[in-house]
Amino acid sequence: MARSRRSWAPLLLLLLAGPAACAASPADDGAGPGGRGPRGRARGDSGGDEAVPRHDSSYGTFAGEFYDLRYLSEEGYPFPTAPPVDPFAKIKVDDCGKTKGCFRYGKPGCNAETCDYFLSYRMIGADVEFELSADTDGWVAVGFSSDKKMGGDDVMACVHDDNGRVRIQHFYNVGQWAKEIQRNPARDEEGVFENNRVTCRFKRPVNVPRDETIVDLHLSWYYLFAWGPAIQGSITRHDIDSPPTSERVVSIYKYEDIFMPSAAYQTFSSPFCLLLIVALTFYLLMGTP
């Protein structure tokens, strides 16, 4: 009988310890009232099994991996975050003489991409939009003058700098020297340097407050056309000694398509050359006396 009681004793102890064991089970998942951490190890204990990763640690690992995958290049550097730049819209010459005025200087039949110099203008609301292009790696400009001579002129220039940008600048001709003016009436500026050409587009108000260096474009002016090299973003002397000018004053309200042949195509159009050709032809037809 005593032996039978001894065999039941471990079973009774196990049954009595069951509720206590169940009550202590939450300590395995986290810190309990006794301040013990995962798997019953006290906080700060260095021994025992490795701790089970917490939710925040798992999230941090996921976020780090996602950032590395999404925002880092193969070299481990962040990708550039500069906003996309719209490409420069090509100048349309089909509209010349219709919805905008144009000046072309160069080879007969040239356009904005092949002329030595090209300029267009058109009214847009209270502004005038100008498009300029020239065969140069420096600058291209248009001047508004009361005569056909350089001096006392309002000038807008598109300058290609050493960083590859094309900036629109305002100048005032003091004699043969172009002085940069900080007050710049240009707006909506854009420019590009491609195929060894400087091309730009900008708007300028028709009416401006009275200023010696800025003219009102609602009045008619002679247009001076010039282009040339630049050194460290600063303009230098124009390419040709006598840059072309408009034959008469230009009105922004009248759209024309005017072509001016460059020097290379003016050889047989000068009066002297024509007279020489006529004399030579007459001589060949009549024979020598």
Residue 283's CB is within 10 A of a number of other CB atoms, namely: 10
Residue 21 has pLDDT above 50, yes or no: no
Predicted local distance difference test score (pLDDT) of residue 241: 81
Distance separating alpha carbons of residues 105 and 226, to the nearest angstrom: 11
Give the type of residue at 84: P
Q: What percent of the chain has pLDDT over 70?
A: 63
Q: Does residue 117 or residue 75 have the better pLDDT? A: 117
Confidence grade of residue 240 (pLDDT, cut at 50, 70, 90):
confident
Report angle CA 225, 229, 231 to the nearest 5 degrees: 135
Asked if 122 and 100 touch (Cβ cutoff 8 Å), the reply is yes
Asked if 86 and 107 touch (Cβ cutoff 8 Å), the reply is no
Question: 14 φ, ψ to 5°?
Answer: -65, -40
Mean pLDDT on 92-99: 95
Average pLDDT score, the chain: 77
Which letter does DSSP use for residue 57 in this model? H
Predicted local distance difference test score (pLDDT) of residue 28: 46
Sign of CA dihedral 68, 74, 79, 84: negative
Predicted local distance difference test score (pLDDT) of residue 224: 96
What's the gap between Cα 147 and its chain centre? 35
Asked if 190 and 207 touch (Cβ cutoff 8 Å), the reply is no
Question: 176 φ, ψ to 5°?
Answer: -95, 10
Q: Which of 23, 21, 53 is nearest to 37 (CA)?
A: 53
Q: Which residues on adjacent β-strands are paired with residue 191?
A: 200
Distance separating alpha carbons of residues 160 and 137, to the nearest angstrom: 7
Radius of gyration (C-alpha) of the chain in whole angstroms:
41
Which letter does DSSP use for residue 128 in this model? E
Predicted local distance difference test score (pLDDT) of residue 61: 56
Those residues whose C-beta lies under 8 Å from the C-beta of residue 145, and which sit 6 or more positions away, are 152, 153, 154, 221, 222, 223, 224, 245
Mean pLDDT on 192-196: 94
Q: Does residue 155 or residue 19 have the better pLDDT? A: 155
Kindly report the pTM of this predicted structure. 0.64
Q: Does residue 287 or residue 96 have the better pLDDT? A: 96
Which letter does DSSP use for residue 264 in this model? G
Predicted local distance difference test score (pLDDT) of residue 268: 52
